[in-house]
Amino acid sequence: MPRRVAILWQLSSFTGWGVYGLNLALNWAGDAEVEAVCAVPINPREIALDLLRSRVLAPFAERSQRYQADLQRHAGGRLDAGMPVLVSLGNAMAAPLAGHNVTLGGKPPIGVAFFETALAPDAVERANNYPLIVTGSTWNEGILRAHGVDRVRTVLQGVDSAHFHPAPRLGLLSDKFTIFSGGKAEVRKGQDIVLAAFKAFSERHPDAVLVTAWHCHWLSVARTLDQAGIAKPVVLNRQGQLDPAGWAAANGIPADRFIDLGAVPNIFLPAMLREMDVAVFPNRAEGGTNLVAMECMACGLPVILSRNTGHLDLIKADNCYPLDDQRQRPGAWSGIDGVPGWGESQVGEVVERLEQIHADRAEAARRGARAAQDLSRLTWSATAKQMKDIIVELA
């Protein structure tokens, strides 16, 4: 009999959590040892897959729909079916159950944690209520252990190596030096640093173009970018959401040097990434390894990475261009018991790394190839197998 397991978060092709759950479901769909369901309603508009993956996922979706209906009819929304439950945990170790109308009652519940803020005593208490917490980075694991949470292990995220791998580019912007920046717009991701560095770099290099995927649903999150004072205040569109092009213009970047891709389904991203010359991630904190950075590295891009938090699991010898000058940001959490906290990448060092890559394309290609080799071992199939082993062990 296969091991049953429930995923308690929203599947999506547009968010980090969503891509994580979606790839667990896809990899377990062909695994006779696991029978998974999603306890949260699946919105078809949030899922973008090719036809074959859609067909493979269809039984999982149908099974999940029946399970959700049974929850509402017979259990009043209470998840208590005697199966392990993977519960998403964010900052404060809080599970967003109320928003899904599901009460945790599975056995045993396994916390899956990605967090970036300090843990208060009540968060530590919640963490200790789980028989095991799976973190997305050794940084997160170190923080939990420093707080006395010992039932914890790290399972890194993966990439879909069938899509994210080195391949020829079309050369759509072959006369330009293309710089990619991706991730939800927020101070933690450091898009303000990207804008400031690109402005300085592009003044010396008229061939430079900044290509972004900064879509953010939440205005309050996007407005955190104003906290550091590095860039001009964020600009909003008529819908009250971040206007990346307007924000770039307000920071002195001409329209012909800026392209915003908007909300990109994960499956469409590889072809866009392969047109890039470099990707830059001066992120202040990552509870996981930074999925977008991993996907850029898997495609063979030379990547500029801040040497802090979850990025530390990606940075190896000569597989990227690390930002080593990491300073404590005023007001940010500084870590605990020898585990460093947030880092503040310096605009000048980002510019230096861009200059290195622009001047020596052969070295950049070499580092990109090394990154692709390293990331070829970090696949979603490997992540799914590690998670399955944990489920079997605890069930």
Tell whether 183 and 125 lie within a shared domain: no
- Listed in sequence order, the DSSP H helices in 30-172 are 51-74, 121-128, 138-146
Confidence bin at 77 (pLDDT 50/70/90) = low
In this predicted structure, the answer to whether residue 315 has a pLDDT above a threshold of 60 is yes
Highest mean pLDDT among 73-77, 91-95, 120-124: 120-124
pLDDT in the model for residue 39: 86
Kindly state the average pLDDT of the residues 366-389.
Answer: 97
How far CA 140 is from CA of 72, 144, 158, 173, 286, in Å, comes to 35, 6, 17, 39, 9
Is 163 inside a domain boundary?
no
In this predicted structure, the answer to whether residue 82 has a pLDDT above a threshold of 90 is no
Give the separation between CA 340 and CA 188, rounded to whole angstroms: 15
136 φ, ψ (degrees, to nearest 5):
-95, 5
- Listed in sequence order, the DSSP H helices in the chain are 16-29, 51-74, 121-128, 138-146, 191-204, 219-222, 244-250, 269-273, 291-298, 347-359, 361-375, 380-394
Q: Which residue has the higher pLDDT, 117 or 134?
A: 134
What contacts 162, CB < 8 A, 6 or more positions away?
none
Is 169 inside a domain boundary?
no
Is 171 inside a domain boundary?
no
In this predicted structure, the answer to whether residue 358 has a pLDDT above a threshold of 80 is yes
Q: Which residue has the higher pLDDT, 288 or 335?
A: 288
Tell whether 117 and 266 lie within a shared domain: no
With tokens 């898997």, the residue in question is: 298
Tell whether 351 and 390 lie within a shared domain: no
Is 81 inside a domain boundary?
yes
pLDDT in the model for residue 240: 81
In this predicted structure, the answer to whether residue 73 has a pLDDT above a threshold of 80 is no
CATH number at residue 337: 3.40.50.2000
Summary mean pLDDT of the chain: 91
In the structure encoding, which two tokens stand for residue 124, read together?
């530590």
Tell whether 338 and 389 lie within a shared domain: no
Tell whether 362 and 383 lie within a shared domain: no
pLDDT in the model for residue 118: 87
Tell whether 13 and 114 lie within a shared domain: yes
Give the separation between CA 211 and CA 258, rounded to whole angstroms: 6
Confidence bin at 277 (pLDDT 50/70/90) = very high
Range of the domain at 57: 3-158+379-394
Confidence bin at 213 (pLDDT 50/70/90) = very high
CATH number at residue 109: 3.40.50
Q: How far is CA 99 from the centre of its chain?
A: 21
Is 164 inside a domain boundary?
no
Kindly state the average pLDDT of the residues 274-299.
Answer: 97
Kindly state the average pLDDT of the residues 209-233.
Answer: 92
Tell whether 126 and 216 lie within a shared domain: no
The pTM (predicted TM-score) of the whole model is 0.94
pLDDT in the model for residue 149: 96
Tell whether 203 and 310 lie within a shared domain: yes
Tell whether 348 and 387 lie within a shared domain: no
Q: Which residue has the higher pLDDT, 338 or 383?
A: 383
* Number of domains, the chain: 2
Tell whether 199 and 154 lie within a shared domain: no
